A and B are shown apart, each in its own frame.
Chain A
Amino acid sequence: MAKAKTTSPDIIAHLCVDEPLRLASGAELSPVTVVYQTHGTLNANKSNAVLVCHALTGDQYVVNTHPVTGKPGWWSEVVGPGLIIDTDRFFVICPNVLGACMGTTGPKETNPDTGRPWNLEFPVITIDDMVRLQAKLLDHLGIEQVFCVIGGSMGGMQVLEWAAKYPERVFAAVPIATSYRHSAQNIGFHEVGRQAIMADPDWCEGDYLAQGKIPHKGLSVARMAAHITYMSEASLHRKFGRRLQDRDQVAYSFDADFQVESYLRHQGSTFVERFDANSYLYITRAMDYYDLAEEHGGELANAFRGTPVRYCIISFSSDWLFPTAESREIVHALNAVAANVSFVEIDSDKGHDAFLLDEPEFHEVLTGFLDGAAAHRGLPRRKTAGDGV
């Protein structure tokens, strides 16, 4: 059997042309460009769409090879024909979020009023703004309700926001390794990253593009610090321990003596090649501002009252950036409104990044939940080996 074509290049939508996107800050954006990728085919009654929300430094390359790094899509083991998010059955949409740097309107794109990059003139955005723009993309695609909205970390924040803001437009919601509000500790880590960027003279008060510079060192340090928070102590230890890098003994210098230093330096410098420093400032800020409880009078349960959505909350035992306790608070709020909710903490020592990695138990749970929800939605069953063609 010839394999169906399930991938496509970037698709560009120009939205909010007649009516601007009104942001939480009060600012307005018009027009707004959204770049997205789709996989699979939208069915006749448009009921099989899955919206995949990416994380802080993710993008629309959920399946396809990244054009800059040449690496496979960030969730290519989860999304695809016959995979967990089965593109033989589902129509997957993955947009680059507002404020990001892979084509969607953000600080490095051109401000139509000035003809120059927005840089710091770009308005501060929120998770809520990202989600409202995604809703406009679905309007544009003529999709009334998505079968599922799914994402990890900042993607999970978008999932929660979707379910709370547009409950009638979401059949199932899967927030993974996330929280309903960014903790003080996490805001602190983000602030370290932002300060590192802004302390780099090549940042040029945000105007580096016009000056032909890139705040390489600042953005790199921001990524190094953040990368540590994505891993657990156990996974760092397993990967590197105290092993030395290309040497038999310490050099009594500030070279990268240890493998872990060399690894983080590499992570930092490769990140700079694919990510925009100002985008990093704006998106981390959006996460910091996120507090779904606060949006609903300080009572998280109010965000979900009367919700018809089927939820599957997933956390990882060694994730100290978005610990299980925070997922459990979401579950408590959903129980308080007798919502349809599943909640699983996956045993893993891989830290926050576990949701991007090969975690069989996680994949098993996700498969079961999606297949169960698809049956309730009246979508076709997964093809198994015995079914023939």
Chain B
Amino acid sequence: MISKTRHAIRLDLQIIADMVEPGSRVLDVGCGDGALLDHLATTKQVDGRGMELSMEGVRAAVSQGLSVIQGDADIDLEDYPSNAFDYVILSQTLQATYNPRIVLENLLRIGKRAIVSFPNFGYWKARVHLVLGGRMPVSSTLPHQWYETPNIHLCTIKDFVILSRLLGITVVQGIAVNADGDTRTMSAMGRRANLFAEQAVFLLERD
């Protein structure tokens, strides 16, 4: 599981890393084995912390010398004080939380900025799967069958943008990633991205 090559990281993690200013304080929620934290520490000299639900991930991260705790985004974000970090990152985890709205509010309370990535349920192939195939979508970004998926709150890019507005959150930057790994900056509502992006990465701040 643990990548030994320090600089080759998942595409969405690379996009997130590019959004982080060097030398900043970062909390990575759902940090897995700490690949992004390790990358940020090496390439951007960040003061990084992580939270991860799985003990396997926590052990791997701490064993690499990263500061990571076992914790649950739905429960343990409440503990952190406001404005404790420059960035709070939530990569590919929002859709697996019980209460995405509260998690999102917490991210932007704890961090001056938040970076959130998630699979786009509005992606045209997902729509085709459901509308024409009549079945829940399964793809490389949504690899689980409905009966064993940890993803309980899937959303589209449009859904996410609407929730952000509702919560008084400004989208500083939205990056759409298509199936080939090509990236492009989204428009304000992300209309085109909502259909063509397989996943999305948002840089957010409070209004």
Could you write out 26 A-B pairs with CB less than 8 Å apart?
A: A310-B67, A312-B62, A313-B69, A331-B69, A331-B71, A332-B76, A335-B69, A335-B79, A335-B80, A336-B79, A338-B84, A340-B47, A342-B69, A343-B58, A343-B68, A343-B70, A343-B71, A344-B58, A344-B62, A344-B70, A364-B59, A365-B63, A367-B63, A368-B63, A368-B64, A368-B65
Q: Which residues of A contact B67 (CB under 8 A)?
A: 310, 340-342, 372
B66 at interface by CB-CB < 8 Å:
yes
Q: Which residues of A contact B71 (CB under 8 A)?
A: 331, 335, 343
The minimal Cβ–Cβ distance linking A277 to chain B, given in whole angstroms, is 40
19 further contact pairs, Cβ within 8 A, besides A337-B81, A344-B59, A364-B63: A331-B69, A332-B76, A335-B79, A336-B81, A338-B84, A340-B49, A342-B58, A343-B71, A344-B62, A345-B55, A345-B70, A347-B55, A364-B59, A368-B63, A368-B64, A368-B65, A369-B63, A372-B65, A372-B67
Q: Which residues of B contact A369 (CB under 8 A)?
A: 62-63, 65
Q: Give A331 to B66 CA distance when docked, in angstroms.
A: 16
The minimal Cβ–Cβ distance linking B167 to chain A, given in whole angstroms, is 23
Q: Which residues of B contact A337 (CB under 8 A)?
A: 81
Within 8 A of B (CB), among A316-373: 331-332, 335-338, 340-345, 347, 361, 364-365, 367-369, 371-373
The minimal Cβ–Cβ distance linking A298 to chain B, given in whole angstroms, is 17
The minimal Cβ–Cβ distance linking B111 to chain A, given in whole angstroms, is 11
B121 at interface by CB-CB < 8 Å:
no
Q: Which residues of A contact B66 (CB under 8 A)?
A: 342, 372
- B55, B79, B84: residue with the most chain A Cβ atoms closer than 10 Å: B79
A141 at interface by CB-CB < 8 Å:
no
Q: Is the interface of B mostly helix, strand, loop or mixed?
A: mixed
Q: Give A317 to B99 CA distance when docked, in angstroms.
A: 28
The answer to whether B81 and A343 have CB atoms under 8 Å apart is no
A375 at interface by CB-CB < 8 Å:
yes
Contacts A335-B69, A335-B76, A336-B80; A342 near B85 (Cβ below 8 A): no
How many residues on A have C-beta within 8 angstroms of the other chain's C-beta atoms? Answer: 26
Q: Which residues of A contact B79 (CB under 8 A)?
A: 332, 335-336
Q: Which residues of B contact A343 (CB under 8 A)?
A: 58, 68-71
Q: Give A331 to B62 CA distance when docked, in angstroms.
A: 15
Q: Which residues of B contact A344 (CB under 8 A)?
A: 55, 58-59, 62, 70
Q: Give A62 to B64 CA distance when docked, in angstroms.
A: 26
The answer to whether B68 and A342 have CB atoms under 8 Å apart is yes
Contacts A344-B55, A344-B58; A375 near B69 (Cβ below 8 A): no
Mark contacts of A16-53 with chain B using CB atoms, 8 A cut-off: 1 yes-contact digit, 0 otherwise.
Answer: 00000000000000000000000000000000000000
Q: Which residues of B contact A361 (CB under 8 A)?
A: 59
The minimal Cβ–Cβ distance linking B41 to chain A, given in whole angstroms, is 10
Q: Which residues of B contact A341 (CB under 8 A)?
A: 49, 67, 69
Q: Give A373 to B67 CA distance when docked, in angstroms.
A: 10
Q: Give A338 to B48 CA distance when docked, in angstroms.
A: 11
The answer to whether B59 and A338 have CB atoms under 8 Å apart is no
The minimal Cβ–Cβ distance linking B207 to chain A, given in whole angstroms, is 24
Q: Give A371 to B65 CA distance when docked, in angstroms.
A: 6
Q: Give A343 to B72 CA distance when docked, in angstroms.
A: 13
Q: Which residues of A contact B65 (CB under 8 A)?
A: 368-369, 371-373, 375
The minimal Cβ–Cβ distance linking B27 to chain A, given in whole angstroms, is 9
Q: Give A332 to B76 CA distance when docked, in angstroms.
A: 8
The minimal Cβ–Cβ distance linking B186 to chain A, given in whole angstroms, is 32
Q: Which residues of B contact A331 (CB under 8 A)?
A: 69, 71
The minimal Cβ–Cβ distance linking A308 to chain B, given in whole angstroms, is 12
Mark contacts of B11-52 with chain A using CB atoms, 8 A cut-off: 1 yes-contact digit, 0 otherwise.
Answer: 000000000000000000000000000000000000101000
Q: Which residues of B contact A345 (CB under 8 A)?
A: 55, 70
In the complex, the 9 A-B pairs of residues with the closest C-beta atoms, listed nearest first: A372-B65, A368-B63, A338-B84, A343-B69, A335-B79, A342-B62, A332-B79, A364-B63, A336-B79
Mark contacts of B80-92 with chain A using CB atoms, 8 A cut-off: 1 yes-contact digit, 0 otherwise.
Answer: 1100110000000
Q: Give A337 to B84 CA distance when docked, in angstroms.
A: 8
Q: Which residues of A contact B70 (CB under 8 A)?
A: 343-345
Q: Give A313 to B58 CA distance when docked, in angstroms.
A: 12
Q: Which residues of B contact A347 (CB under 8 A)?
A: 55
Q: Which residues of B contact A313 (CB under 8 A)?
A: 69
Q: Give A213 to B49 CA distance when docked, in angstroms.
A: 56
Q: Which residues of B contact A342 (CB under 8 A)?
A: 58, 62, 66-69
Q: Give A221 to B65 CA distance when docked, in angstroms.
A: 43
